[in-house]
Structure 1
Amino acid sequence: MSCPAGYAHDVSTCATAARELHEPLAATAATARTWLLVEQPGPWGAKALTSSHLDRAVGRRLETSADGTGTRVALVRRPGRHADVHRPDRHEVIVAHTVPGRAWVRRATVADPEQLTSLDLAALGRGDHGGFGREHRGDPLALVCTNGKRDRCCALLGRPLAAELAAMGGAEVWEITHIGGHRFAPTMLALPHGYAYGRLSAHAAKDVLLATREGRVVLERCRGRSAWDRPGQAAELVVRERTGEDRADTLAVEETAAEDGRWTVAVRHEDGRRWSVVVEQRAQEPPRPESCGKAPGRPGRMVVRSVAEGRSSP
């Protein structure tokens, strides 16, 4: 197969290949209804929960407990240079539920992350925080992926973005171990709504965070809302594109049905409008590295086949 003009198999990074191939960002966000973010300074390994200064047994228990609950666990640290402290006196903990209409962010400080192993992660995934910590009412939270041990693009492109955003002010900025999609670096998750973005400049990220503060979504460079699976992300974004709706919590994915390699997704507006969106997945050509150092592959792309608008029954 011939390559598109401008593409070379020996591009230096996965992010370069994805850019040159104009790989779409829509419907590529990591799926998580709830995020459990644990502050852990110092170096991170590729699988940070079990390869950092966090106690390995604690990391393994959190990772195992989260499986299948809708809660995703990640480590965070402040941007810039930081002391390589094995056992800090305190760990900031942020828990964010991202389902529209029920989104919340709560936070606490713990002396030992082992305390978190008693959390009911299934309940957190359902949106029940059980009184954990205190409500966050401050600036939007910007989580920029910077874990170079997982993929060098995240460090090369993510760390400068995190530092610049922190210097600008107007948001609480953290580096995070993994939010998926190395090849879209620099990537950022914006809380409280849980929309992920890719290929961000500092200016574009600032616009996203301003919109987040106002309860709005910026569609440019948007990868999707983490509360939904990938077909749901594709369906919600196409409805936003067609209607111009940018308020974050007005649209919800009600159900997703799969049949014969296609998904039919129901998207509902709070005003009663409803859309039925048919989505299918296609392998992308030509092959490209999904992560630096890996053999080229054909990542799936969500393609919207049809959109039909109706109205919910009273």
Structure 2
Amino acid sequence: MSPERPDPVTKLPATACSRSWEVAGHPVHGTAARAGFWVALEQPGPWGRDAFTESWLDPELGVRLQSACAQAGGRLVLIRSVSDHRTRDDGAPRQVFLAGDLGGATGGPWLVTGAIVDPAELLRLDLPALLDGGPDAVLAALPGLRLTDAGILLVCTNGKRDVCCAVRGRPVALEGSRRRPGQVWECTHTGGHRFAPTGIALPSGHTIARLTGELAVAVVDAEARRELCPDTLDAAHDRGRSHLELPVQAAEGWVRARTGETALEALAGSVEAGDEWEATVLVVHRDGRRWRLRVHKELTGERLYDSCGSGPADARAFVVDELPSR
């Protein structure tokens, strides 16, 4: 494909951020937005660039909810069904999903779902409990919700934030929701539109690049098994699990790509030394295998588009090298 010509399928120009990064082919490891828990609130209707203040959601409430989640170490996203074509807010109950304990401190990630009438009900939540606690605190605060064994996938389609997410994300959400109704949703910005179509799998918090309709189905099915989808565990798709530090995301992705390990709790990673740009990371498998890895972010030598709304900039990507074991 010539980079000077529009993509014949998406019609996106060569300067579209996701096209420039896709053609370059750099690894996506270590690019997941950080979040220790996720709150997904159904919000029908149009979304602006800042969907929390530019939608049918009360903007003051949107700011309060977003700020409360961020201060507690998590993230709020708005979601909508691909089949929802309402032209006004009719006050109908809204679906909500809450994914907590992504690090497995109390036995593994969990997902709670149900309907609420007023989004302000979410202000009753003990949000810090979502980081390393079970679902009991959530169910006590919102007794109409329930624990579910299902998995879901949130696909970013916020075209007002970046055109790539709308053009590439919506067909994936449409195909996924057709085949797995109620388990694949459109969502607002999650970070990384240069990797569109991109999405968040819950309850694992796995962030995935370059989704397809087929991958969306496989991801949802893997989440129901409380596993990672094996077809996404490579440098082109696996951005990382959101609760991990960026170098640990990259290191774990490197290990999973080489071992094919899909179990959520199989690996534990920690930074031995360094910072977000260069670190020594130890990854330990529950069977005793260990990998000491040097994770460093390098300039690729190219100027690529991080967003369709900005000009080209020096591109960087994580490089992972294995170090001698001690």
- TM normalised by structure 2 equals 0.85
Q: CA deviation at 1:289?
A: 1.2
Query: Contact conserved, 2:110 with 2:134, CA < 8 A, in 1?
Result: no
Match of 2:152 in 1: 141
Match for residue 24 of structure 2 among 21, 27, 32:
21
One-letter amino acid matched to 1:36: V
Match of 2:267 in 1: 251
Match of 1:263 in 2: 279
Paired residues, what number?
306
Match for residue 95 of structure 2 among 85, 92, 106:
92
Match of 1:229 in 2: 245
**Percentage identity across paired residues of the two chains:** 37
Match of 2:312 in 1: 296
Compare 44-53 and 119-128 and name the one that shifted more. 119-128
One-letter amino acid matched to 2:312: P
Match of 1:111 in 2: 117
Q: CA deviation at 1:174?
A: 0.9
Compare 8-17 and 161-170 and name the one that shifted more. 8-17
Alpha-carbon displacement from aligned partner over 1:216-250 (angstroms, at most 9, x marks no partner): 32214221111212111111111223333222221
Q: Within 2, Cα distance between the matches of 1:309 and 1:104?
A: 35
Query: Contact conserved, 2:37 with 2:73, CA < 8 A, in 1?
Result: yes
**Residue 39 (structure 1) aligned with residue 42 (structure 2):** yes
- What SS does the aligned partner of 1:43 have? coil
The change in CA–CA distance for 1:256 and 1:196 in structure 2 (over 3 A counts) is farther
Q: CA deviation at 1:259?
A: 5.2
Q: CA deviation at 1:69?
A: 2.4
Q: Within 2, Cα distance between the matches of 1:109 and 1:235?
A: 38
Match for residue 196 of structure 1 among 202, 207, 230:
207
Compare 148-157 and 169-178 and name the one that shifted more. 169-178
Q: Within 2, Cα distance between the matches of 1:27 and 1:192?
A: 19
The change in CA–CA distance for 1:27 and 1:44 in structure 2 (over 3 A counts) is same
Match for residue 257 of structure 2 among 218, 236, 241:
241
**Residue 64 (structure 1) aligned with residue 70 (structure 2):** no
Q: Within 1, Cα distance between the matches of 2:132 and 2:33?
A: 17
- What SS does the aligned partner of 2:313 have? coil
Q: Within 2, Cα distance between the matches of 1:142 and 1:260?
A: 28
The CA RMSD measured in Å over matched residues stands at 2.5
Q: CA deviation at 1:128?
A: 5.0
Q: Within 1, Cα distance between the matches of 2:305 and 2:320?
A: 24
**Residue 178 (structure 1) aligned with residue 182 (structure 2):** no
- What SS does the aligned partner of 2:114 have? strand
Match for residue 206 of structure 1 among 217, 222, 226:
217
The change in CA–CA distance for 1:64 and 1:281 in structure 2 (over 3 A counts) is same
Q: CA deviation at 1:6?
A: 5.0
Alpha-carbon displacement from aligned partner over 1:32-82 (angstroms, at most 9, x marks no partner): 120011111111111111211111111111122223422111101111342
Alpha-carbon displacement from aligned partner over 1:169-205 (angstroms, at most 9, x marks no partner): 2771111102211111111221221211111221233
Q: Within 2, Cα distance between the matches of 1:116 and 1:159?
A: 27
One-letter amino acid matched to 1:23: H
One-letter amino acid matched to 2:162: D
Match of 2:51 in 1: 48
Q: CA deviation at 1:151?
A: 0.6
Q: CA deviation at 1:135?
A: 4.0
The change in CA–CA distance for 1:85 and 1:284 in structure 2 (over 3 A counts) is farther
Q: Within 1, Cα distance between the matches of 2:260 and 2:17?
A: 32
Identify unmatched segments of 5+ residues in structure 1.
none
Q: Within 1, Cα distance between the matches of 2:307 and 2:227?
A: 31
Q: CA deviation at 1:267?
A: 2.0
One-letter amino acid matched to 2:286: E
Query: Contact conserved, 1:144 with 1:158, CA < 8 A, in 2?
Result: yes
Query: Contact conserved, 1:102 with 1:127, CA < 8 A, in 2?
Result: no
One-letter amino acid matched to 1:290: D
Compare 292-301 and 46-55 and name the one that shifted more. 292-301
Q: Within 2, Cα distance between the matches of 1:87 and 1:125?
A: 33
Q: Within 1, Cα distance between the matches of 2:34 and 2:114?
A: 24
